[in-house]
Amino acid sequence: MITDVAELERVAAVNEDGLGDIMEVSMGPHHPSTHGVFRMDVRLEGERVVRLKPVFGYLHRNHEKIAEHGAYLSAIPYTDRLDYLCSMTNNWGYVLAVEKLAGIAVPERAEYIRVIVAELTRFQNHAGLVGFLLQDMGASGTPLMYAFREREKVLDLFESLSGARMMCNYMRFGGVRVDCSAAWLTETRQLVGRLPGFVDEFESLLRANEILMARTQGTGVLPRELAVNAGVTGPMLRASGVNYDVRKVDKYGIYDRFSFRVPLGEHGDVYDRYMMRILEMRESVKILEQALRDIPAGPIMDPKVRLRGLRPKAGEAYGRIESPKGELGFFLISDGSGNPYRYRVRPPSMINLTILEDMCLGENIADTVIILGSVDIVLGEVDR
Amino acid sequence: MPLPSPEDIKAQIEVGVPGASVTVIANGSPSGQHSLLLDHAHARAVAEFLRDDAALRLDFCSLMTGVDWPDSEVSEKVKVKKLVAGPDGASSEQQVEEVRKTKVSGHLEAVYHLFSMEKKHGPAILRLRTANRADGTHLPSLTPVWRSAEFQEREAFDLYGIVFDGHPDLRRILMWDGFVDYPMRKDYVAPEDDILVTGVKA
Amino acid sequence: MEQDLKNLKIELSKNGIFTTTLEEIYNWGRKNSVWPLTFGLACCAIEMIATTMARYDLARFGAEVFRPSPRQADLIIVSGTVTKKMAPQVVRLYNQMPEPKYVIAMGACAISGGPFRDGYNVLKGIDRYIPVDVHIPGCPPRPEALIHAFMTLQKKIEEQSLSGAERPRHLQADLPSEFPVPTFGEHGLEPAQNTDVFLAENGNPLRVIQ
């Protein structure tokens, strides 16, 4: 609803010129783009976007309040449900923060298992994202079918390891919940052996697709300085050319033992963000091959940790990891009791949305959907 | 090159932003992440200094958190000299232990975690505290310095009631606009959904 | 008499004559072409998408296309947590669907609020405002569970009669097919539940104070 007098005069002038009408459109919270209950209030001049305000909170499930009422251990299944496509990496972010808060060490084998499941998660997330992005562009379902075919294989591995396909609830403070068997490792090695072939097939089907090229190159450009100032992280930041990957900066876990590259983009448009995911899938396969080759025998949990009655000393800690969406962090304040006094999630999807308006201004409304698709949001994380 | 210690950063701030009041708040956990408490008047200038200083270059505000510290009562045992009546009727001065309770007024807090994408170091942690939890809940907004704080400060406003002065668009973000409570505060009581009152008791 | 009719049917069909009742054929057409609405709220939506993908393939049960517009959909699969902020939109979408329409509450959150039941923004089950036909427990339910729910819904449609007192809602003119949309109050939704829908059955946790 336009109430500003100057704005109304401008609208009248535009209408007289016949260049287009000003129209306010609410895209969402229910719309065919499969990113969840997200709404964009868009003001259009003809087909071009002149203003875009994201509105969310439709999936605000009070994760932080519930976690503050429960023990440290009972927050782990809730972290599964934050970014519900990547439950393993969510678990890792939280247990890393608690391990920093309470000073808990993790044995070698558990670190290797964590890296293996995290990189498998990253792989299936990026494959799914390319599938969803192509679906937003109109390729109704076929790339997604290819992506989900591989995702199902990864979920089979997760199910045999942790008992659940999606909500794995697998990591604990000081290690992981159950050990992986030699048979599981053999099956994982076989799957990882086939993954490069899948990425080649996937990419070859899309590489020269003219609709993909025409729609994504030059669309939704995000300049470097704005990306850094707006706290954008993950593949979206690296597509704009900023070399910042928490795995390389913090070297958490045992990531400093693996040799892998950090792909960087040049233009910061949707095409670069799509290419980031493809390249990171290949890097994840490299890390998986190294981890599966070097995983030692040994214990998987620190035996001194009291999981159920964990009472860290009063203090605070911020622990962060590189999740497939960006920097996922957990800020915990302990008051010495068994419940966290303050439990805060740093949601990469929500913070990456800060500059959605900047990227979409001047673009056609049809392109806002693919720009949003390239940001890679999951509403469970945006709203918590 | 790693980030300087909080004491060093405090010294640099006091040189770079004259008049700024910075206090180092120690952290009891093994994480070793100590923080700096700033005053309201100079917070924006300190933030700009931290972001633009050539050595620190804290250009990435990763996280902004709201925290609620409700009013509390601190009891301490104090040894006091008092006139005590003895068994023989004469009063004499003796040392007596008394429990003294002092009310500590609560406040809301905003915690900023800063990193540097250029120098790859961090975190440096800033804290801002409001005057109280009732009518003095204003804090300066750091969104003009780090755009990443935009949605997060709106969330702290929505869930805690911290009002950020200078924020470009301060309105609720997760709850709907007509909602009046601040649900993440420690004294929030959710309404009962499972009771239906059909009549009025006489 | 029933058995004689059945034997007659079998004999006739052996000679190439197919007999049925109007009810059977009407319901057969309806149950094998239930088109759901593309409506995913949270994690259960991903399992719903996985059910439509190549491995589990919901399309072979008749859910060939998921319609984005409620005006063209027969079924709304409420997959995920319904928050109080989203609840009015869910009811509005349900109202916009034409009769006959069905609701599957997929997952613990849609049934009762699930693991997030204690949340201040969480609606404790979508059946507080709209009538639900099939509930699937799980967090999230496996794709096979969603297929089982779909088959249960098909069985329910198959057993619906065209006449008599037991006929379904869409054939009874005096029963409502649209339900009031809750509004945003200062502390929650108003009303907190729709007692026509929620109080009707026993076993819900609502305590009525006179």
pLDDT at B86: 67
Q: Do A346 and B175 touch (CB under 8 A)?
A: no
Q: Which of C40, C50, C122 is facing A62, going by the closest CB pair?
A: C122
- What percent of chain A lies above the pLDDT cut of 70? 95
Share of chain A above pLDDT 90, in %: 74
Say if residue A138 is exposed, middle or buried (CB neighbours under 10 Å; 0-12, 13-18, 19+): exposed
pLDDT digits (tens, 9 = 90+) for C82-97: 999 999 999 999 999 9
pLDDT band of C110, cuts 50, 70, 90: very high
The number of C-beta contacts closer than 8 angstroms across A and C is 93
Using an 8 Å CB-CB cutoff, list chain B residues near A383: 174
Going by pLDDT thresholds of 50, 70 and 90, the confidence category of residue A1 is very low
Q: Are C147 and C53 in contact (CB under 8 A)?
A: no
Nearest Cα residue to A155 out of B127, B71, C56: C56
Q: Does B202 score more than 70 pLDDT?
A: no
| pLDDT for the residue numbered A82 | 92
Q: What is the arithmetic mean of pLDDT over C164-184?
A: 87
Q: What is the pLDDT of residue A34?
A: 59
Provide the token pair at A192. 């990882």
Note the ipTM here: 0.89
- Triad C12, C17, C22: Cα angle to 5°: 100
Give the separation between CA C204 and CA C131, rounded to whole angstroms.
Answer: 13
Tens digit of each residue's pLDDT (9 = 90 or more) over A54-106: 999 999 999 999 999 999 999 999 999 999 999 999 999 999 999 999 999 99
- Tell whether B153 is within 8 A of chain A (Cβ): no
Please report which residue ranges of chain A form alpha helices under DSSP H. 5-17, 63-69, 76-80, 87-102, 108-137, 142-162, 182-207, 210-216, 224-229, 235-239, 246-249, 270-294, 348-352, 356-360, 365-375, 379-383
pLDDT at B136: 86
pLDDT band at C205 (very low <50, low <70, confident <90, very high): low
Q: What digits encode the pLDDT tens for the residues B64-100?
A: 999 999 988 888 877 777 776 667 666 677 777 778 8
Q: Is the pLDDT of residue A14 over 80?
A: no
Cβ burial, residue B10 (10 Å; 0-12/13-18/19+): middle
**In residues, how long is chain B?**
202
Give yes or no for residue B143 having a pLDDT over 90: yes
Let me know: does A302 contact A104? Beta carbons within 8 Å. Answer: yes
Q: Which of C87, A298, A272, A349 is nearest to C78 (CA)?
A: C87
Confidence band for B126, pLDDT divided at 50, 70 and 90: very high
Interchain proximity A231–B147, CB inside 8 Å: yes
Give C159 to chain B, closest Cα distance, Å.
34
CA dihedral C195, C196, C202, C203 (to 10 degrees): -50
Q: Which residues contact A343 (CB under 8 A, 6 or more apart)?
A: A64, A67, A68, A75, A330, A331, A332
Chains that touch A (3 or more CB pairs under 8 A): B, C
Which secondary-structure segment (H or E) carries B62?
Answer: strand B60-69
DSSP structural state of residue C70: G
Using CB atoms, which residue from C80, C115, C121 is nearest to A78?
A: C115
The whole-angstrom separation of Cα C102 and Cα C87 is 17
Helices and strands, number each (H, E), in chain C: 7, 6
Is the distance from CB of C56 to CB of C95 less than 8 angstroms? no
pTM: 0.90
Q: Is the pLDDT of residue B201 over 70?
A: no
In this predicted model, what pLDDT tens digit does every residue of C3-46 receive, in sequence order? 888 888 889 989 998 888 888 899 999 999 999 998 889 999 99
**What integer pLDDT is reported at residue B77 of this predicted model?**
79
Q: Give A22-47 pLDDT, tens digit per residue.
A: 888 898 888 887 588 999 999 988 88
Considering chain A, what is the average pLDDT of its residues? 90
CB of B8 within 8 Å of any CB in chain C?
no
Count helices and strands in chain B by DSSP H and E runs: 3, 10
Distance from CA of C43 to the nearest CA of A (A): 6
- pLDDT, one tens digit per residue, over C118-168 is 888 999 989 889 999 999 999 999 999 999 999 999 999 998 888 888 888
Whether the per-residue pLDDT at C198 is higher than 70: the answer is yes
Q: What is the mean pLDDT of residues A2-15?
A: 59
Residues of chain C neighbouring A31 (CB-CB closer than 8 A)? 68
Max CA pair span of chain C: 70
Mean pLDDT of B89-114: 82
pLDDT band at A308 (very low <50, low <70, confident <90, very high): confident
Mean pLDDT of C58-80: 90
Surface-to-core class of residue A255, CB atoms within 10 Å of its CB (0-12 exposed, 13-18 middle, 19+ buried): buried
Residues 6+ apart with CB under 8 A from A59: A36, A37, A379, A380, A382, A383, C41, C42, C80, C81, C83, C86
**Span A245-267, pLDDT tens digits:** 999 999 998 999 999 999 999 99
**Residue A268 to residues A283, A322, A350, B61: CA-CA distances in angstroms?**
20, 19, 19, 21
Say how far apart CA A140 and CA C68 lie, in whole Å. 13
Is there a contact between C86 and A29 if contact means CB atoms under 8 Å apart? Answer: yes
Query: How many CB atoms are closer than 10 A to CB C57?
Result: 13
Please report how the helices C143-158 and C22-31 are oriented relative to each other, as an axis angle in degrees rounded to 10: 160
Reported as a pLDDT band with limits 50, 70 and 90, residue A331 is very high
